Structure 1
Amino acid sequence: MSEKVRAPRNRTLTLTVAERSHYRQRLLRLQQPVSAAAILNRTLCQDLFEALPYLPSGCVDLLVLDPPYNLTKRFNQRTNRRRSLQEYENWVAQWLSQLVRLLTPTASIYICGDWQCSPALYNVASRYFIVRNRITWEREKGRASRKNWKNCSEDIWFCTMSSTYYFNADAVRLKRRVLAPYTDPMGQPKDWNATIDGNFRLTAPSNLWTDITIPFWSMPENTDHPTQKPEKLVAKLILASSPPNALVLDPFLGSGTTSVVCKKLNRRYVGIEQELDYACIAEKRLALADTNVQIQGYSDRVFWERNSLPWQRLVQSSSGG
């Protein structure tokens, strides 16, 4: 991972040479079949296809998949090349078919993609799982186009192994500011709460997410990984679809977001990442989570509408709270 000149206030997480040497000692590389206990709360640094035959069966409660999209993109020392949609679908089928063996009968699965690769992901997922929903989330960053609509959304396919599965809607409710505070005939708030800091409503979770902020340079969770998912986004998946102490697997761990969020939310985890630098970054983030369990946009056991928490603190400050 090449050294970059950072602005003084840039909080992007990086590795020193000494840290890389230290954290790589914690990484695992499987060379024979192992039990779930042997890989619990660990990061495997190897190619997924190399690791798959050695992973234990029937132990994963939640599978979070954020594979490389069908784009030409560079990941540190490795470049993924765009291929035909059918070729991409065949590649997805190669590893997804082998991951099914690892899941419990009540497991849930989330598969991330963009609009271009999403059809291939659905086609493969529907062969092995019950596809229950498609979440669309606003990725507020995006390049403008002069001849097309700006691309600023991504999909997450929600699937389950069977009709019996864990889902906790109350754990992922969204707290929104109320701009039109309706009251009942007695003058009492209708489905919202009045506080000294403003008016808020708790809303049921939907499959359209507009409250996610992509990690950027001033956020302590930010890394140099080119497709890093926000902790807030992954926290929603984990809280909705896994109870405490459940085992969560992310076979495309990247910079470690899924494992870090699991640690912060009292879930067990296994992450697989083939790039050494990203795996070491994941281990550094996990070490930092020992003392900081904060997840941006998640507080008081609810998810807050984007920019609500800074706005609330501003109100508190101006009111002397």
Structure 2
Amino acid sequence: MTDTWINQVFCEDALAGLARIPDGSIDLILTDPPYNLGKDYGNASDQQTVDEYLRWTEQWIDAALPKLKPNGSLYIFLTWRFSPEIFVMLKKRMTMMNEIIWDRRVPSMGGSVRSFSSVHDTIGFFVRRKDYYFDLDSVRIPYDAETKKARSRSIFIGAKWLEVGYNPKDLWSVSRLHREHPERADHPTQKPLEIIERMVKASCPPDGVVLDLFMGSGTTAMAAKRCGRNFVGFELNPDYCAIIAERLAMADAPPPPEKKKPVPRAKRSLINS
């Protein structure tokens, strides 16, 4: 692609920057906006009143949706505190296909003593029309050998689902990124590549374009690059823009050459010739 906005992360407000992107040019919007829970992202984006937050959310949704292709899709990460209101906004504009629950595998310790501990994020999956792009085979989960053996009767021979694996359910149990995790960047709400890559593979065709309005640490861009897709996105915090640039540069860097193992020297014979 020759468009100058392709494979770029712009260090600016998405509401201003979306004008760079032509309408009907995006295959997938995949975004993780601020949850309005008071996190410090280097600005006040996560510290609005409820009314301000919902008005702002509706504003960026209405600015972003025209950028989608007619068969495009949208995934949005949310907290349960605001997902009902935001899902209603989106359902007035799109068709909801799934509410996906991301189980963060938080250890069972600490937390509130006046309510049940919250250990999940909510993800909404929305489409524009019935012929939306969706490649299930690219994200199937293989059956283990024991399951295949148990389904070895003749009626199962040649069954595609047994060979290619099963459809991921709408409960995704993937550990959050702990401080020591090799993926971890200096960002308070970084999402695992495993989750983002599943969305990209399933809902963006090869060489398609993924848009993320709130790039954060750049995981959407990394996932798109790793999966052979293009990306475009925005990030308001210049420190996070620097992290994104560093992660993308590392992804482009050639792997270090393998060190050659030293050849052991032949042992001298103790027997006189």
Q: TM-score, normalised by structure 2?
A: 0.82
Partner of 1:110: 75
Question: Is the 8 Å Cα contact of residues 183 and 190 (structure 1) preserved in structure 2?
Answer: no
- What residue number does 1:23 align with? none
Give the 3-state SS of the residue equivalent to 1:124 in structure 2. Answer: helix
- Structure (1 or 2) with the larger CA radius of gyration: 2
* 2:271 equivalent to 1:271: no
CA shift, 1:140, in A, is 1.6
- Measure the CA separation in 2 of the matches of 1:184 and 1:206: 21
Call closer, same or farther: CA 1:131–1:187 in 2, change over 3 Å.
closer
The verdict on how the C-alpha distance between 1:291 and 1:123 changes in structure 2, with shifts beyond 3 A counting, is: same
The separation in 1 between residues aligned to 2:190 and 2:10, in whole angstroms, is 18
Alignment partner for residue 17 of structure 2, among 28, 51, 55? 51
Matched, 1:231 2:193: yes
Deviations 1:227-263 (A, max 9, x none): 1111111001000101110011001000100001101
Structure 2 CA distance for partners of 1:121 and 1:95, relative to 1, 3 Å:
same
CA contact (8 A) 2:34 2:45 kept: no
Question: Residue 204 and residue 287 in structure 1: after superposition, are their counterparts in 2 closer, same or farther (change >3 A)?
Answer: same
* C-alpha separation in 2, matches of 1:187 and 1:272: 53
Alignment of 1:62-73 (within 5 A): 62-73=28-39
Shift of 1:112: 0.9
Q: Larger strand proportion, structure 1 or 2?
A: 1
Partner of 2:205: 243
Asked if the contact 1:138–1:153 (Cα under 8 Å) also holds between the matched residues in 2, the reply is: yes
The verdict on how the C-alpha distance between 1:202 and 1:74 changes in structure 2, with shifts beyond 3 A counting, is same
- Structure 2 distance, partners of 1:226, 1:237, is 21
Structure 1 residue 53: deviation in Å? 3.0
Alpha-carbon distance change, 190 to 81 in structure 1, aligned in 2, over 3 angstroms? farther
Give the whole-Å Cα distance in 2 for the aligned partners of 1:78 and 1:156.
Answer: 23
Aligned identity (percent) is 32
Match of 1:161 in 2: 128
Question: Following the alignment from structure 1 to structure 2, what is the Cα–Cα distance between the partners of residues 60 and 36?
Answer: 15
Say whether the 8 Å CA contact 1:56–1:102 is kept in structure 2. yes
Q: Which residue of structure 1 aligns with residue 92 of structure 2?
A: 127
Distance in 2 of aligned mates of 1:51 and 1:186: 58
The total of aligned residue pairs comes to 250
Q: Over residues 274-309 of structure 1, what are the superposed CA-to-partner deviations in whole Å (9 max), with x where a residue is unaligned?
A: 10010110111111112489xxxxxxxxxxxxxxxx
> How do 1:168-179 residues align onto structure 2 when only pairs under 5 Å count?
168-175=135-142, 177=144
Select 1:41's aligned residue among 7, 14, 37: 7
Contact kept in structure 2, 1:181 and 1:189, CA below 8 Å = no
- Shift in Å, 1:69: 0.6
Which residue in the other structure is 2:247 paired with?
A: 285
